[in-house]
A and B are shown apart, each in its own frame.
Chain A
Amino acid sequence: MNRVVQSEMLVPNMHLLEIEAPEIASKIKPGQFVILRSEEEGERIPLSVADWDKDKGTITIVFMEAGASTGRLAALAPGASVATCVGPLGNATEIARFGTVMVVAGCYGIGSIYPVVRDLKNHGNTVVTVMEARSSYLLYWTNRFVGLSDKIIPITRDGSRGYKGHVTRLQDVINGLSSPPDRIIVNGCTYLMARTSEITKGMGIPTVVNLNPIMIDGTGMCGVCRVTVTGKMKFACVDGPEFDGHEVDWKEFLARRKQYVDEEALYFKRSEPAPVIAKALHKEGKCQA
C-alpha cells in the first residue's frame, strides 16, 4: 500500500498526487511512468510521473480527471492509500546535449515534461518550453520552468496568454525563434502530439513523443498498448513510451485511445458521489482524445 502524502487540484480538472513509493523514487528517470490502481477492484491506469523526491521517498503524478478511475484518484485525501503503485515502467527519455531543445507540453504533459526539462538543462541544452492550454488559468507550474527554460512560450486557445490558437500555431512559434530547434519533445494529449509531429515533419525537425495508450499490466503482457511505428507493431509499455513522432500511425493510435470513451462516460452518469469536476468541462476540452 502506498500512502498519499499530498493531494491537490492544480487548476480545474488537473490533479496532483504525491505518493509514498521509495523504491520507485530511487529508480525513476524522466519519461517513465507508473501504473496506479486507486482501490481493490480498481482499474490499472498508466500515468506519467511529474516529479520525485529520493530522500522523502515520494513520487508526484499530475493527471486529468477523465473517467471513473482518475476520478477516484482525484478524490483521495492525504493519508489515504492507493491499492497499486508499480514502476518505474517504460524507457526513459533519451537525454543528451542536443543543442536547442523545444519541449511542447499540454494537459498532464506540463507536469510530465518538467523532469525532462530539468535533465535537459543539466545536460547543457538551451530549452524552449511551449505550454498549451485552453486559457491562461489552466496553465500550471509555470514558475517551476522559469529557472530551467531559456524561453517560455504559452499558446492559449482564447489568447489570454501568449499565442492565440491551438497547437497549430506551433509553426509560427518556431518561425519566431532565431533558428529552429535541434529537437522537439512533446508530452500531452494525443491531439497535441499528433499535430506537433505533423507540423515538424514538414520542417524536418526530429520530434519525440511520449505515448499514453491504454494499458493493463505495463510489462508487455496484454498488448493493448500496441501502436504502429514505421509500419511495425510496437508495445508502448516496453518498446516506448517514447517514439519518433514522425513515424507513429496517428489515426490508428487515436482510434485505439478512444476504445472505452463510451464506458468512461458511463462514469459521469452513474458515479456516486458526483465527479470532482462537472461533465461540461470535459465536453469542452478535447484532451480525452
Chain B
Amino acid sequence: MSTEERPKKLDLNRNDMPRQPPEIRRHNFSEVALGYTQDLVMAEAKRCMQCKKPRCVTGCPVEIDIPGFVSFVTKGDFASGIKKLKEKNCLPAVCGRVCPQESQCESQCILKNKGAEVAIGRIERFLADWEAAEGVVEIPPRPKPTGKKIAVVGSGPAGITVAGDLILLGHEVTVFEALHRAGGVLTYGIPEFRLPKRIVAREVDYVQKLGVNVVTDFVVGKTRTVDELLEEYDAIFIGTGAGLPWFMNIPGENLNGVYSANEYLTRMNLMQGYKFPNSSTPVKRHTRVAVVGGGNVAMDSARTALRRGAKEVHIIYRRSMNELPARHEEVENAEEEGVIFSVLTLPLRYIGDEDGWLQEIECMKMELGEPDASGRRSPVEIEGSNFTVKFDALVCAIGNSPNPLIPSTTAGLQTTKRGTLVADPETGKTTRDRIWAGGDIVTGAATVILAMGAGRKAARSIHAYLS
C-alpha cells in the first residue's frame, strides 16, 4: 500500500461493537454482540496504520495477512477482504468471535501502546458474516480425484480444517463424530449467546458441500478402532480434543447440583436444555449458582446460569481479576450482566443435605504470592479464613484433559504424562505410521485458532505423504 492510503493521523477512537444491553441479554440466549455495521467496520479498518512490518501478523497463530484484508475493508471491497482472510483462516466467523485477540494479533498492534489497538477480531467477524448474508459463498469445483481416502476423527475446529483442506486437494474425506451433531466444542461447549449454532452449522455445511462425508454418532475406538479404520483409509487424522473434565478431588463433588462444565454446557447447548421443558433433556432451575474457574468456559457457564433464571451467580477463582484467563471481552460481558466475581477464593468442600443435594460450599480466602511456572502470581492460602456460603448448584470449570478413548484403544500411539498425543508440531505426525493428530488432543486445552492451525499443517503433511 502506498503511503497516501495510510491514515493521515492517528485515530485513537476504537469503535465499539454494538451489543444487546446487559439487562435485556441476561434473559435471552440470543447472541450478545451484534457485530459492526458497514460504516463502523470501515471506520475501524481506516484506523489501521498499514505497518510495513505488521506485528499483528506475527501475533496470529496462522499468520493471516491482517493489513491485507483490512485494507480491502477500508475501500468497502468486502468480497476481496474475505477472500484474503480465507487464504489462511477457513473459520473466520468462529475465530472472529472466540479468538483471544487481545493476547494474539491485537496485542501486537502498534496502536496498542496508545490503548487503541485496531479491533481486528471484529473486522474479521464482519467479513465472515457479510459473506454469509450476501450469499456469495463460493464452492470451488471438485478437483480430479486422487483415489486416496482419509478418515478424520472428531469434527471440531481441527478436524473440519483438515477435512476442508484435503478435499480441495482431491482426496476422499470422511469425518467421524461421536455426538449427534458436528462441530465439537463449538457445538457442545460454546453457548448460543457467544457463538450461534447456525454459524457452526454453516461451516460444517460448507465442508460437506465441498464433498466431505460427515458421519455422526460414530465413536472411533468403540464403533470401530483406529486400526480397523486403517484397513479402509490411507491416512487418519485424530482431532478428538480435550474433553475429559477435571474435578478438584475435594469432598462432596458427587453431590447432586454439582456439575462439570462439560455436562452443564452440553445439556444446555447440544441438548438444547435451555428450551426445557420444550426440549426433552431435563435441566434444573437453580437459584444460587457458583462456577469454579476463571476461563472462558467458566464465563460461559456463569452467563448460562443467569439466563436460566438464577438469582445470583458467582465466579469462584483462586487468583485475582488480573489473572483471569478468560477473554477480556467475556469477563466484561459477565460483569455487566451481573455475575459476581468472588476472586482469591478456593473451594475446600461441598456440603449436602440428607438426600445428597448441594447446600453449601466451604471456601478459603487466598492472597497472591510469588509468580509460579505460568508466570502468574500464585495463590497462597490465608490460614483461618474459612467460610461457608449457600449455593444450590456448582459448576466445575477448571479445565479438561484429552479423552483417553483413542490412545487406550490404539496400540503404539505414544502419549505424554498429561495424556496428550505425541505429535510433531510442524507436521502433526504421531508415533505411528499413517496417523496424524492435532488440536487439543496434542496441545491440551487451547484455542480454536491453534487447533485450526494444527489442522492446516497436518493436512499439508498428509497430502505430501499421499502424493
Contact = CB atoms under 8 A, between A and B. Distances in A.
Given A216-B281, A259-B284, A260-B282, 11 more contacts: A27-B222, A69-B280, A84-B216, A86-B219, A87-B222, A217-B188, A219-B243, A220-B244, A221-B262, A222-B267, A226-B253
Nearest to B223: A23
Residue with the highest number of chain A CB atoms closer than 10 Å, among B188, B243, B266, B282:
B282
A216 B247 CA distance: 18
Interface string A9-51: 0000000000000011001000000000100011110000000
A23 B404 CA distance: 22
A59 interface: no
A88 interface: yes
Given A43-B271, A84-B180, A263 B243 contact: no
Contacts of B244: 220-221
A118 B28 CA distance: 53
B260 interface: yes
B256 interface: yes
B217 interface: yes
Contact of B263 (A68, A223, A238, A266): A223
Contacts of B271: 43-44, 216
Contacts of B179: 217
Contacts of A226: 247, 253-254
Contact of B282 (A27, A220, A263): A263
A86 B254 contact: no
B380 interface: no
Interface stretch (A169-177, A188-196, A202-210, A248-256): A248-256
A221 B256 contact: no
Nearest to B220: A219
A41 B405 contact: no
B266 A42 contact: no
Contacts of B260: 222-224
Contacts of B356: 251-252, 255-256
Contact of B277 (A23, A85, A220, A270): A270
A256 B256 CA distance: 6
Chain B binding surface, main DSSP class: loop
Contacts of A146: none
Interface in B355-375: 355-357
A70 B283 CA distance: 17
A220 B281 contact: no
A68 to B, nearest CB: 5
Nearest to A264: B282
Given A43-B282, A251-B356, A255-B355, A216 B267 contact: yes
Given A217-B179, A238-B405, A252 B254 contact: yes
A216 B281 CA distance: 9
A83 interface: yes
A89 interface: yes
Given A43-B271, A216-B263, A217-B179, A223 B223 contact: no
A222 B263 contact: yes
Contact of A221 (B216, B243, B272): B243
B254 A256 contact: yes
Contacts of A251: 356
Interface in A182-237: 216-224, 226-228, 233
B307 to A, nearest CB: 19
Contacts of B19: none
Interface of A: 23-24, 27, 37, 41-44, 68-69, 72, 83-89, 216-224, 226-228, 233, 238, 249, 251-252, 255-256, 258-260, 263-264, 266, 270
A252 B260 CA distance: 17
Given A86-B218, A88-B223, A259-B256, A223 B282 contact: no
24 contacts: A27-B223, A86-B178, A86-B218, A86-B219, A87-B219, A89-B219, A217-B266, A221-B244, A222-B262, A224-B259, A226-B254, A227-B254, A233-B247, A251-B356, A252-B254, A252-B356, A255-B256, A255-B356, A255-B357, A256-B254, A258-B256, A263-B282, A264-B282, A270-B277
Contacts of B355: 255, 258
Residue with the highest number of chain B CB atoms closer than 10 Å, among A37, A86, A88, A218:
A86
Given A37-B180, A44-B271, A85-B217, A266 B277 contact: yes
- A-B pairs, top 4 by smallest CB distance, nearest first, are A255-B356, A263-B282, A223-B260, A222-B263
Interface in B331-357: 355-357
Contact of B266 (A23, A222, A227, A258): A222
Nearest to A221: B243
A218 B178 CA distance: 9
Contacts of A44: 180, 271, 281
Nearest to A215: B263
B233 to A, nearest CB: 15
Residue with the highest number of chain B CB atoms closer than 10 Å, among A69, A249, A251, A255:
A255
Contact of A27 (B188, B224, B405): B224
Interface string B272-307: 100011011111100000000000000000000000
B243 A220 contact: yes
Contacts of A88: 222-223
Contacts of A219: 178, 219, 222, 243, 403, 405
Nearest to B279: A41
A120 B178 CA distance: 31
B156 to A, nearest CB: 12
A221 B266 contact: yes
Contacts of B218: 23, 86
Interface in B191-220: 216-219
A249 B244 CA distance: 22
A97 B326 CA distance: 55
B245 interface: yes
A165 B259 CA distance: 38
A110 to B, nearest CB: 25
Contacts of B281: 43-44, 216
B253 A233 contact: yes
Contact of A222 (B222, B245, B254, B404): B245
Nearest to A67: B282
Nearest to B245: A223
Interface in B113-129: none
Residue with the highest number of chain A CB atoms closer than 10 Å, among B218, B266, B272:
B266
Residue with the highest number of chain B CB atoms closer than 10 Å, among A37, A44, A72, A252:
A44
A84 B279 contact: no
A220 B403 CA distance: 7
A235 B222 CA distance: 16
